[in-house]
Amino acid sequence: MGRENYKALIILLCCWFVSCKKDKPDPVINTTPNSSGNVYIVCEGNYGASNDATLYAYEPLLDSVFGDIYAAANNQPLGNVFQSMRRIGDKLFLCVNNSNIVAVINANNWKLSGVINIPQPRYILPVSATKAYVSALYHNKVYLINTQTLKVTDTITLPGFSAEVMCLYYNNVFANSWDSSSGNKIFEINTNTNEVEHEITVAGYAPQEALLDKDQMLWVLAGYEPEKAGTLTRLDPSTGTILQSYYFPAAVYPLKPILNNTKDTLYFIEANYFGSNTNNGIFRMSIYDVALPSVPFIAARQYQYFYALGIDPISGNIYVGDPKGFVQKGSVYIYKPDGTQVKSFTVGVGPGHFYFDD
């Protein structure tokens, strides 16, 4: 939905569209999942609300949902706007951007190991055995942390603001600048020197997502800005050559692109925040398609939009998060690879990301 201040505006617009009817409680809600084989659900919480971000877990083999496991393990709330998480070794790193922290928990028991103070942390990317990069909203820096000492060790200054999702390509990292005023550039960082070496122009403004397909070609999603149309760019990261550019229709909000397990099919969300089911749902396309799909693979209902998307690397099942306007607890829907729904359950406020642990 974009930056949190923009999200807040959208929520005001969509709240009277969203039904306040509560889901039926799930038959199994527990607090102590196993330490492996979990699907973690990152529940952002409502921006500006006090300490309502939550970490949920789902065990596919047991078909069990586990409520706020961070609060249960630590007897305290996580904070506000839980943006993303990443496993590094035996720890889980949780970026809680409105609380200005990266909370680090033990992956075996979810006990807090430490807190790293970083302004508006968004995403974390490990680049070596002991080093990771952390992107930050509203800042022109990427923060370097030592993943063993849990300390900030350095910063990298970017030519643009609000770095978002970063992508590792051999020894280099591609960082986006999720800010239309910074133009249509992504920045290539050498992880050995921690310096920006190149700038690459992409099709659209405010790039914020990047991922590599099976041919090691880079996909960049740009948009979320109301004054700029969303775009997808497929490019060769070794040369910066653009291979294909895709332009979404005006007023279409694309977000959360992912690749399937063989990395030859791209999935993404188109969200309609104004009550229509046009351009609203989960879409998919081959990495070799020359045009964007026009019909959703999984359609959202009227007055509904999706906000999270993931694919289980074992089963291939598709996980979809419905934030329900951020005015009540959200829902997760699970679909078979053919799009048939097989499961749904209730989670915390604002399910935004899935993380599949092994």
The tens place of each residue's pLDDT in the chain, 358 residues long, gives 444 433 433 433 343 333 333 343 343 444 455 656 899 999 999 887 777 999 999 999 999 999 999 999 999 999 999 999 999 999 999 999 999 999 999 999 999 999 999 999 999 999 999 999 999 999 999 999 999 999 999 999 999 999 999 999 999 999 999 887 768 999 999 999 999 999 999 999 999 999 999 999 999 999 866 566 799 999 999 999 999 999 998 888 999 999 999 999 999 999 988 888 889 999 999 999 999 999 999 999 999 999 999 999 999 999 999 999 999 999 999 999 999 999 999 999 999 999 999 7
Can you give the pTM of this predicted structure?
A: 0.90
The reported pLDDT for the residue numbered 25 is 39
What 3-state class would DSSP assign to 230? Answer: coil
The reported pLDDT for the residue numbered 35 is 54
Query: How many residues are present in the chain?
Result: 358
d(CA 309, CA 129): 28
Order of strands across the sheet that contains 341-346: 308-311, 318-322, 331-335, 341-346
- From the list 99, 176, 180, the residue with the least C-alpha distance to 133 is 176
The reported pLDDT for the residue numbered 117 is 98
Confirm if 189 and 177 have CB atoms less than 8 A apart: no
d(CA 333, CA 316): 14
Q: What is the DSSP annotation of 27-66?
A: S-EES---SSS-EEEEE---TTSSS--EEEEEETTTTEEE
Burial 233-251 (b: 16+ CB within 10 A, else e): bbbebeeeeeebebebeee
d(CA 221, CA 209): 5
The reported pLDDT for the residue numbered 16 is 34
d(CA 339, CA 282): 10
What 3-state class would DSSP assign to 225? Answer: coil
Round to the nearest angstrom and report the end-to-end CA distance of the chain: 29
- From the list 302, 335, 320, the residue with the least C-alpha distance to 19 is 302
